[in-house]
Amino acid sequence: MTHVSGLLLGVLITLTLLAILTRLTGFRTQKPGDFAATGPAFDMRLHLNGPILCEGVIYGPLGRVSSRFVADMHGSWEGNTGTLAETFRYDTGVVQERCWTLRVDDAGAIIADAPDLVGSGSGTQQGPAVQMKYRIKLDASAGGHELNVIDWMYLMENGTIMNRSQFRKFGLPVAELIATMRKVV
């Protein structure tokens, strides 16, 4: 074996081990049950109801901030079915609107729909956490890509919601969103 092929084999083995380690220990390995007995209970029907101010940043695939935004949200519920209307204002001046339809059953299972989703999203609320998984189609101005999203929301003791979302294409991370959501009083 030549030095070059040995080096390439070593790089391949290292990358494979890193990929396995990331799958076993990273953000995507969290489960809603990990939060079952910790902190205040997150109930979307209560905590995503009424006017909400959201502020956040979006990071690109190399971890650099690619966008900042402020969003006005308004949630309304009738029983276990609700809508969450969102108006995002990005630092570029672009305004984006989305309206979610959310259905929550008494066990905490969630079904989510929005016009830019491919199919329906699904999730679970348990303890102070909500996990959502869905496939989103970006606007043509953003490339029109379809991305797989894992979205986690964590209810803090003061009622603020911390949101972290990872966006992937072909299993590779392409963006991450970090945001806070606070009720407007």
Cα gap 106→183, rounded to integer Å: 23
- Same structural domain, 26 and 78: no
Whole-number Cα distances in Å, 97 to 5, 87, 100, 176: 52, 5, 10, 19
Distances (CA, A) of 95 to 55, 86, 98, 176, 177: 14, 10, 10, 19, 17
Does residue 145 sit in the same domain as residue 89? yes
- Count the domains in the chain: 2
User: Largest Cα–Cα distance in the chain?
Assistant: 69
Contacts of 96 (CB under 8 A, 6+ apart): 87, 88, 90, 139
Question: Is the distance from CB of 111 to CB of 120 less than 8 angstroms?
Answer: yes
Q: Answer yes or no: do 37 and 26 share one domain.
A: no
CATH number of domain containing 159: 2.40.128.20
Query: What are the residue ranges of helices labelled H in the chain?
Result: 3-25, 44-47
Give me Rg for the CA atoms of the chain: 19
| Rounded-to-integer distance, Cα 59 and Cα 167, Å | 10
- The range of the structural domain enclosing residue 44 comes to 32-183
Written as six digits, the tokens of 122 are 């699904």
Give the global pTM: 0.80
Q: Look at residue 15 in the predicted model and tell me its pLDDT.
A: 74
Q: 62 φ, ψ to 5°? A: -100, 10
Query: What are the pLDDT tens digits along the chain (185 aa)?
Result: 577 777 888 888 877 776 665 665 565 556 666 666 677 789 999 999 999 999 999 999 999 999 999 999 999 999 999 999 999 999 999 999 999 999 999 888 999 999 999 999 999 998 899 999 999 998 887 788 899 999 999 999 999 999 999 999 998 899 999 999 999 98
Q: Tell me: do 155 and 94 sit in the same domain.
A: yes
Q: Are 117 and 98 in contact (CB under 8 A)?
A: no
Question: Any idea how long the chain is?
Answer: 185
CA distance 6 to 1: 6
What local confidence, expressed as pLDDT, does residue 40 receive?
78
10 and 63 assigned to the same domain: no
pLDDT value for 141? 79
Question: pLDDT (tens digit, 9 = 90+) per residue, 136-159?
Answer: 998 887 788 899 999 999 999 999
Distance CA 70, CA 26 (A): 28
Neighbouring-strand partners of residue 53: 72, 182
- pLDDT confidence of residue 21: 59
Are residues 39 and 26 located together in one domain of the fold? no
Domain match, 7 and 54 both = no
pLDDT at 31: 66
- Clarify whether residues 99 and 168 are in a common domain: yes
